[in-house]
């Protein structure tokens, strides 16, 4: 009975081995060429430039938002603690 409960996790483990990495994650980590290869594989077309550019823009916006919110949190912490 216990062994039967392990079957879905084993199937999921082997399924995850064949999944490609997320193109958005690759772009956010600085691997745009690998992201382009994954997008081409997923979409089945070589015309993924606009989608890749959109991902880059979103990642840049999120990074700048994260940096500005970090500054606000640090300033708020300093004001509360001083």
pLDDT value, residue 21: 85
Residue 20 DSSP code: P
Residue segments in the chain with a per-residue pLDDT below the cut of 70: 69-80, 82
Domain membership flag for residue 28 = yes
Q: Supply the pLDDT for residue 62.
A: 86
Range of the domain at 53: 23-81
Does 29 reside within a domain? yes
User: Which conformational region is residue 44 in: left (phi greater than 0), alpha (psi within -120 to 50 degrees), or beta?
Assistant: left
Number of domains into which the chain is organized? 1
**Residue 1 falls within a domain, yes or no?**
no
In a domain, 38, yes or no: yes
Q: Is residue 13 part of a domain?
A: no
Q: Residue 47 phi/psi, 5° resolution?
A: -90, 75
């Amino acid at each position: 009975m216990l062994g039967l409960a392990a079957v879905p996790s084993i199937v999921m483990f082997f399924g995850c081995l064949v999944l490609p990495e997320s193109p958005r994650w690759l772009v956010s980590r600085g691997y745009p060429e690998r992201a382009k290869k994954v997008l081409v594989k997923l979409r089945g077309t070589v015309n993924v430039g606009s989608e890749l550019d959109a991902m880059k823009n979103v990642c840049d916006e999120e990074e700048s938002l994260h940096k500005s919110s970090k500054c606000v949190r640090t300033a708020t912490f300093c004001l509360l603690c001083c």
